[in-house]
Chain A
Amino acid sequence: MAQQIEQTDVVIKIAGDSGDGMQLTGSFFTGDTALFGNDLATFPDFPAEIRAPIGTLAGVSGFQIHFGSRTIHTPGDYYHVLVAMNAAALKTNLPMLRKGAAIIVNEDGFDSKNLRLAKYDNGANPLEDNTLEGYEVIKLPITKLTREALADFELGTKDKDRCKNMLVLGFLLWRYNRSFETTVKFLEFKFQKIPQVLEANKKVLLKGYHLADTVGEFTSRYVVKPAKLEKGTYRNIMGNDALALGLIAAAKKSGLSLFYGSYPITPASSILHGLAKHKNYGVKTFQAEDEIAAICSAIGASYGGDLAITGTSGPGMALKAEAMGLAVMLELPLVIVDVQRGGPSTGLPTKTEQSDLLQALYGRNGECPMPVVAAKSPSDCFEAAFEACKIALQHMTPVILLSDGYIANGSEPWKFPKAKDIPTIEVKFAERQDNESPFMPYERDENRVRKWAVPGTLGQTHRVGGLEKEDLTGEVSYNPANHQHMVKTREAKVDLIANFIPEQKMDAGADSGELLILGWGSTFGICQSVTKMLIKEGHKVSHAHLRYLRPFPKNLHTILKNFDKILIPELNNGQLCKVIRDHYLVDVQQYNKIQGVPITKHELFDFAKNLFTVHRSPFTIKKCQ
């Protein structure tokens, strides 16, 4: 009987070749962890190449999961456990291991070829020299064991080897004191159409699970008890899936058809995939010929009365800029989803960054204001998407919704709402008129919102376009005073949205204090963790996280004034900092990481702590090295 050790939280990284099925292993383990009741956060990390050459450092694909019996805010900085399917996977992940971490290695991935491809020096083998000193190394001949388990199966060696991830998964389930039934159900669903593959995977999974019985050298099992989550019904969800659901919910709650025009781009494509599956919800998806056609088709659909969305990432945003300007001129509802990635240009397609904020706020010709909202976590993408649609529909404006690769592919448990508890979105179309009085397409209400007059409606024929509009009539106008008036009106319309969004609340800490950590987007989890750590140490620190980046909540200025210092951590070169300084004439400290990976708890904690130790001395802007 193995001894059982209780842990409050664990970070596991599963790494192998991009063809080794690491993402699937990770998502199955995540599913089981979620259903078991732990709180969790995941972070997949894969190369841009679909199948980089086998065994190389470039081809390493990884899946990180952090789960615990306590609240989990981030996927974790350093790993307690690393599964390395080959030498390259070990080499890439070694720097992120904690002292004394456990390393489960596939011995069969450390032959001379693998070592050479992983660029280990002539003859060096980390399993045999002192590289892994201080770690608990569990060496398993994973490939060999898999082949043994499948000796009786009529499958080619290549197909048999593809099951080796299940051996790892089985072993992990045993190690964390779980049952294997849930995973068997996942397998049965996934491979329902290929019974032979299903049986093979099941067999290897069980072999991994019972490895301890047969090998007998593993003495410890670990228990991470279920977390004390709020009462309610939960599911695990990835950011892009939550975003797609939020869009569908907004369509249902506004009584409109959903139209999604998009061009495939990493990391936004899975929104298109997610929506395309739900045609029975009246969802129209359109894979356009390019980014420009994607947004233009959405503009056309919006003009026709659909709830229209386009989704993309940074390079696509650049291409859509002119059409966004058209949507601003037309004053039609539209949501532009930007799942940010590393830039500029093609940049780091599979890596995360928050560097499109300034593009979202300002990246168009002319005076072209648009509301900007941002999602803070995978499950929050649901609400953020819903909110973006609501603003677009009720204020007749294109809205930018910012997500990023980190939350798009990351996952966490989500206490999801009941449909009946999701508020209705009131949409006002221009009412039918007789032909007697001329229709005024640019007549506005007190919030400067014009009417949505959809083609097909009697008595409202009118022309719109990208040329400057005359106030009220919408006719083309080159009148100088009219242009200034219209620029100011479009700006006022967006500014007035501040009256309809909630005031900024503190996400942690008091309403005033020594330090405010001000964040936006995917840094939410890390800001929460670090704030709580600093509070624990006795500092007067608070955390406020911005959902609304244009317009800002009305009370933001007051909040900023209530703190001695403001720290803005961002995965960019200081974009929100620029905007806050510009808007409020307050100084801010910036912490910027531009490495394509999230900020770690320890680096931000150390930086923030340093702000307290250098009392009253002018701060220098320290950038992440």
Chain B
Amino acid sequence: MSVEITNHIPLKAKDFASDQDVRWCPGCGDYSILKQVQTVLGKLGKKPHETVFISGIGCSSRFPYYMETYGMHSIHGRATAIASGLRMANPNLGVWVITGDGDGLSIGGNHLIHLLRRNFDLNVLLFNNQIYGLTKGQYSPTSEENKRTASTPLGSLDHPLNPVALALGSDATFVARTMDRDTKHLREMLMRSDAHRGTSFLEIYQNCNIFNDGAFFTFTEKQSKPDTALFLENGQPLVFGTERNKGIRLDGCSPKIVDLNDGDFTESDLWVHDENDLYKAQILSRFFDDPSENKHAFPRPFGVIYQKNRPCYEDMLLAQLESATEQQGEGDLDVLIAGRNSWEIK
């Protein structure tokens, strides 16, 4: 990573907190994410002045104001493009992009896919609350079908976008999902995002308690979570359920939910998670039905779905500059200006 970890007294979360009053609605999931980010940066020994948060527009995009680091609250959807430029100017900075489901997937969707394929070394935290909060509650690209909102009184007609599948489709090199209400998992995923060299795409399920309260309760609340959330661990079988009594088995290319108690299958028969396997990651990304509506739906995967090492754009760009300089020598302005054919008038 760009920021050294050694020889440094770990900072506390409060060292990364700016003096600004946080102005999210009381009870908003953003508070939890802010706290965990501040904690993790301290733990990792990051230096505030070498850390930059860049956001677009929306509730989540207020985030940089609350961080005692460098920060830019930019324009709607473009944080990804701005962060790319910043990495090309200074590849020694730790850069975090804060975006939401509207900012990152609707108005900024184009920049997001191109960021992911180019693989700049930065971290994207996509706060998904399946609603437009700052504009007072219109449906978003991730809202479920038939959602009744201010702009869709008869129900929305849009089919929801699957952010993890989109990221994989854009050849992202790190794709993970977590939730605001599981702070331990959230911290773990933030650390993994930071550790990955390349663009880390972390989707965070975040509750908007004003306009879309409980959108993810199926996955985040104690009573339903064990049966609906599948926590991925590399090298471990896919097991879930209140008593770890259920698993996912691959039957050819088709995933199947199996009961580990009925004697037909044991954990050794199950699909073992391999975060470097793109094909399996693609299947996992499609575990997207809502278990509260469909009893047979697969559980929603949380954790690192896919990770791969691929050269970063800015590294290759700087390598091109270096090799051009090596081959042609450092550019001489006089030579450049004179061109190949000049003449003198005496």
Contacts and interface: CB of A to CB of B under 8 A. Distances in A.
Interface in A407-427: 416-419, 422
B72 A463 contact: yes
A455 interface: yes
A284 B314 CA distance: 10
Contacts of B90: 304-305, 454-456
Contacts of B87: 300, 304
A230 interface: yes
A327 B187 CA distance: 34
Contact of B50 (A303, A417, A456): A456
- From A419, A456, A462, residue with most partner B Cβ within 10 Å: A456
B154 interface: no
B330 A280 contact: yes
Interface stretch (A209-217, A232-240, A561-569): A232-240
B271 to A, nearest CB: 36
Given A456-B92, A461-B49, A323 B70 contact: no
Contacts of A422: 333
B18 A304 contact: no
Given A289-B110, A455-B90, A419 B337 contact: yes
A466 B74 contact: yes
A231 B89 CA distance: 41
A293 B331 contact: no
B334 to A, nearest CB: 5
Interface in A227-261: 229-237, 245, 248-249, 252, 257, 259, 261
A161 interface: no
Nearest to B314: A284
A300 B83 contact: yes
* Size class of the contact patch on chain B: 35 or more
B279 to A, nearest CB: 27
B345 A417 contact: no
Interface stretch (B194-202, B292-300, B317-325): B317-325
A304 B89 CA distance: 5
A297 B84 CA distance: 6
B339 interface: yes
User: From DSSP, what is the main secondary structure of chain A's interface residues?
Assistant: mixed
Contacts of A284: 88-89, 317, 321
A466 B75 contact: yes
Contacts of B341: 31, 34-35, 235-236
Nearest to B328: A280
Contacts of B78: 292-293, 296, 323
A280 B343 contact: no
Interface in B33-89: 48-50, 52, 54, 57, 64-65, 67-75, 78, 81-89
Contacts of A381: none
A455 B343 contact: no
A347 interface: no
B71 A463 contact: yes
Nearest to A299: B82
Contacts of A235: 338-339, 341-343
B135 interface: no
A363 interface: no
5 contacts: A298-B85, A301-B86, A304-B93, A461-B71, A463-B18
Interface of A: 31, 34-35, 37, 189, 229-237, 245, 248-249, 252, 257, 259, 261, 278-284, 286, 288-290, 292-293, 296-306, 308, 322-323, 325-326, 330, 416-419, 422, 454-467, 475-476
